[in-house]
Amino acid sequence: MRPGALFVIATALLVAGCAGPRTHDLLNKTAIEAPQSAIAATHEIFVATTRGKATKDPRRVFDAQRSLATNFASIEMTVPKIHKVGEIERAKGRAASDPAKDFAARRVTFYGDAAQFEKAVNADIARRDGRVLVFVHGFNNGFDDGAYRITQVVHDMQYPGTPVLFSWASAGTATGYIYDKESANAARDNLEATLKMLAGTKAKSIDIIAHSMGTWVAMEALRQLAIEGNRDLDGKLGYVVLASPDIDVDVFKKQMERYGKPDEPFTVLLSGDDRALQISSFISGAKPRVGDYGNAKDLAGLGVTVVDLTNAKGSDRLNHAKFANNPLLVQLMGERLSVPASLSSNHLDGDRAIETLGRGIGQTVGSVAEIVITTPFKVLTVVAGGE
For residue 131, the domain's CATH number is: 3.40.50.1820
Residue 60 lies in a domain: yes
Question: How confident is residue 360, by pLDDT bands cut at 50, 70 and 90?
Answer: very low
pLDDT, position 359: 45
Ranges 153-162, 224-233, 317-326, 329-338: which has the least confidence = 329-338
For residue 320, the one-letter residue type is H
DSSP state, 120? H
Give the Cα-Cα-Cα angle 120, 32, 51 (nearest 5 degrees): 45
pLDDT in the model for residue 384: 61
- Provide the residue range defining the domain that includes 323: 3-348
Q: pLDDT digit string (tens) for 253-311? A: 999 999 999 999 999 999 999 988 988 888 887 789 999 999 999 999 999 999 999 98
> What confidence score (pLDDT) does residue 174 get?
63
Question: Which has the higher per-residue pLDDT, 1 or 35?
Answer: 35
Given a cut of 70, whether residue 144 has pLDDT beyond it is yes
Average pLDDT of the chain, as a whole number: 88
Task: Give the pLDDT band (50/70/90) at residue 177.
Answer: confident
- Average pLDDT rounded to a whole number, residues 102-110: 97
Q: Which residue has the higher pLDDT, 362 or 217?
A: 217
Burial 159-187 (b: 16+ CB within 10 A, else e): bbbbbbbbbbbbbbbeebbebbbebbebb
pLDDT value, residue 281: 85
pLDDT level of residue 328 (50, 70, 90 thresholds): confident
What pLDDT band is residue 362 in, cutting at 50, 70 and 90?
very low
Give the residue-averaged pLDDT of 125-151.
97
pLDDT of the residue at 146: 98
Give the pLDDT of residue 318.
87
Is 359 a member of any domain? no
Give yes or no for a contact between 253 and 214, defined as CB atoms under 8 angstroms apart.
no
The answer to the question of residue 134 being in a domain is yes
Q: Is residue 386 part of a domain?
A: no
User: What confidence score (pLDDT) does residue 357 get?
Assistant: 45
Report how many domains make up the chain: 1
Q: Tell me the sheet residues that pair with 241.
A: 209, 267
Q: Which residue has the higher pLDDT, 311 or 347?
A: 311
Whether 379 maps to a domain, the answer reads no
The model's pLDDT over 42-96, given as tens digits with 9 standing for 90+, comes to 999 999 999 999 999 999 999 999 999 999 999 999 999 999 999 999 998 889 9
Half-sphere exposure of 174 (CA within 13 A, CB side): 10
Residue 364: inside a domain: no
pLDDT for residue 188: 98
Residue 234 lies in a domain: yes
Q: What is the identity of the amino acid at 379?
A: V
Using the predicted structure, report yes or no on whether residue 222 has a pLDDT greater than 90. yes
What Å distances lie between residue 275 and 24, 62, 318, 382, CA to CA? 24, 29, 5, 24
| pTM beyond cutoff 0.85 | yes
Q: How confident is the model at residue 32 (pLDDT cuts 50, 70, 90)?
A: very high
Q: Is residue 180 in a domain?
A: yes
Q: Is the dihedral of CA 109, 115, 121, 126 positive or negative?
A: negative
The pLDDT-based confidence of 346 (bands split at 50, 70, 90) is very low
* Residue 377: predicted pLDDT: 79
